[in-house]
Amino acid sequence: MHIHDFHQRLTDLGAKPMHIGRITRAWLRGMPLDTGTRNQKTENFLPLAVRNALPEISSELDGLARLSSEHPATDGSARLLVELADKQMVESVLLPRDGLCVSSQVGCAVGCVFCMTGKSGLLRQLSTAEIVAQVALARRFRAVKKVVFMGMGEPAHNLDNVLEAINLLGTEGGIGQRNLVFSTVGDPRVFERLPQQQVKPALALSLHTTDAELRQALLPRAPRIDPEELVELGETYARQIDYPIQYQWTLLKGINDSQEEMDGILRLLKGKYAIMNLIPYNSLEADEFQRPDGDRIVQIVRYLHSRGVLTKVRNSAGQDIDGGCGQLRARATELLDRRKNRA
Ligand code: SF4
């Protein structure tokens, strides 16, 4: 079901915008659709025809994103494997401190060489309803006060739906606009569209290297924007919304952890309204990429930090259970295939 169909159905049953608003808010908060307010019970508010249709609408909305399995980690995060109505799987991750990471596509076309999701290519886009349904689902378990678009998929490749989801979450969903984080490898359309939005999200840019050629090799199908230009575009948006850009840097031993790269980061980010998030790669056995040693990571953080670039180390959430985005889905698909083969 699309958001538009959901609203149209309510309108056809006689619902007015205020009724639709209340039902949408209840859904996005993970509450029953007929939830009333303290001063106004649902029976005194919603038209009868609407009330009678709510159980059926509710079960359709539930079908948009169902919990298939939950994988808690020791860091307080939990990966949720979410099944969509057509049985495709995506991941949401409950993050510590009331955060939620959502997926925007099934698979991804960017093909980052260190990412499991990238290996499957793009399977399909998520609708706006499927994106916000992940928030409604997570809120049945826990409060969600921050939503980051860092799960499966490249939000810039599903821009209209992601922006509509951000708008809904920032209004009816009750999430502050800077607590909505649009995460992208960088795309000119993002820098055009974000400043025009009513709800202007925070922005995370996946930089990974300051060397344009290496970036092309690591992120083969990302738009060709030079790292310098990407940072300039990011800086303009940061000043527009008066909020820093978060740069993401998956740290790969021997690839982008050199002294030259660190000096490149200083050259690009010093004096900028920016935070550098280093995410040491979580290597699996026999992996072609490796995580730098702990000493090297500490050295890098000290180096950047002491020279004026605010730097944080972020471990990929739920590290002890899985390596990176899309791995759960890969594993679930593998299981399904095995089951199919057996049948
Ligand atoms: S890291 Fe993100 S952009 Fe790159 S392939 Fe994976 S999901 Fe896509």
Instruction: For 67-80, write each residue's pLDDT tens digit.
Output: 999 988 887 888 89
Q: What digits encode the pLDDT tens for the residues 182-204?
A: 999 999 999 999 999 999 999 99
Which of residues 82 and 120 earns the better pLDDT score?
A: 82
Residue type, 280: P
Tell how far the Cα of 168 is from the centroid of ligand 1, in angstroms.
Answer: 24
Give yes or no for residue 138 CB within 6 A of ligand 1: no
Q: Which helix (H) or strand (E) holds 157?
A: none
Give yes or no for residue 65 CB within 6 A of ligand 1: no
Give yes or no for residue 152 CB within 6 A of ligand 1: yes
Cβ atoms 221, 110 nearer than 8 A: yes
Q: Which of 116, 115, 82, 120 is nearest to 101 (CA)?
A: 82
How far is it, in rounded angstroms, from Cα 340 to Cα 343? 5
Which atom belonging to ligand 1 lies closest to the Cα atom of 250?
A: 1
Cβ atoms 322, 283 nearer than 8 A: no
**Which residue among the candidates 101, 112, 115, 325 is catalytic per the annotation?**
325
Distances (CA, A) of 118 to 115, 176, 302: 5, 30, 32
Distances (CA, A) of 101 to 123, 176, 268, 318: 20, 15, 28, 12
User: Could you tell me the pTM of the whole model?
Assistant: 0.92
For a mutational test of ligand 1's pocket, the pick from 110, 158, 249, i.e. the residue with the most ligand atoms closer than 8 A to its C-beta, is 110
Structure tokens at 49: 């025809």
pLDDT (mean) for 294-315: 94
Task: Work out the pLDDT band at 241, boundaries 50, 70, 90.
Answer: very high
Tell how far the Cα of 111 is from the centroid of ligand 1, in angstroms.
Answer: 6
Look at residue 265 and tell me whether its pLDDT is greater than 60: yes
What percentage of the chain's residues is helix, strand, coil (to nearest 5)?
Answer: 45, 20, 40
How far is it, in rounded angstroms, from Cα 127 to Cα 104? 8
pLDDT (mean) for 204-217: 96
Active site residue 91: yes
pLDDT (mean) for 36-41: 76
How far is it, in rounded angstroms, from Cα 24 to Cα 43? 17
Q: What digits encode the pLDDT tens for the residues 309-341?
A: 999 998 766 555 443 444 545 555 554 555 555
CA 126 to chain centre: 12
CA 339 to chain centre: 30
Q: Which helix (H) or strand (E) holds 159?
A: helix 159-170
Within 10 angstroms of residue 142's Cβ, the number of other Cβ atoms is: 13
Say which residue the tokens 């009868």 belong to: 48
Active site residue 83: no
> What residues contact residue 15 under an 8 Å CB cut-off, 6+ apart?
23, 46, 47, 50
DSSP string, 121-143: -EEEEPPHHHHHHHHHHHTTTS-
At 40 the pLDDT is 75
How far is it, in rounded angstroms, from Cα 127 to Cα 339? 28
How far is it, in rounded angstroms, from Cα 171 to Cα 25? 9
